[in-house]
Amino acid sequence: DIQMTQSPSSLSASVGDRVTITCRASQSISRYLNWYQQKPGKAPKFLIHAASSLQSGVPSRFSGSGSGTDFTLSISSLQPEDFATYYCQQSYSTPYSFGQGTKLEIK
């Protein structure tokens, strides 16, 4: 099974900051990497697929990059609504594993 490891597990930042979250796969997954945002008590929201393709309606301040085993999610200028938990997920092979999550908090 493929293991996904996110770092950091938590992150404090201010409105307007640029932040980057890293996701590493235990083996190469090509570009089969997706990102989701989850707010407390809500279902996850789909942000990015294929490592870097933004889902329709997602603000352009979100971006993704990477291939193989190393991936990043960046938010260029944090807005108040961006404070949430972010998960990466590999869809290269089942079981479709998720990272443990990165909680983005307001500083």
Partner 1 sequence: EVQLVESGGGLVQPGGSLRLSCAASGFTFSSYWMHWVRQAPGKGLVWVSRINSDGSSTSYADSVKGRFTISRDNAKKTLYLQMNSLRAEDTAVYYCAREIGVYDAFDIWGQGTMVTVSS
Using CB under 8 A as the binding rule, whether residue 69 contacts partner 1 is answered as: no
Using CB under 8 A as the binding rule, whether residue 68 contacts partner 1 is answered as: no
Using CB under 8 A as the binding rule, whether residue 97 contacts partner 1 is answered as: yes
Using CB under 8 A as the binding rule, whether residue 24 contacts partner 1 is answered as: no
Q: Which of 25, 83, 89, 104 binds partner 1 (CB under 8 A)?
A: 89
**Phi and psi torsions of 71, nearest 5°:** -140, 155
Query: What token pair was written down for 43?
Result: 């279902």
Question: Which one-letter DSSP state was computed for residue 97?
Answer: -
Using CB under 8 A as the binding rule, whether residue 46 contacts partner 1 is answered as: yes
d(CA 62, CA 91): 20
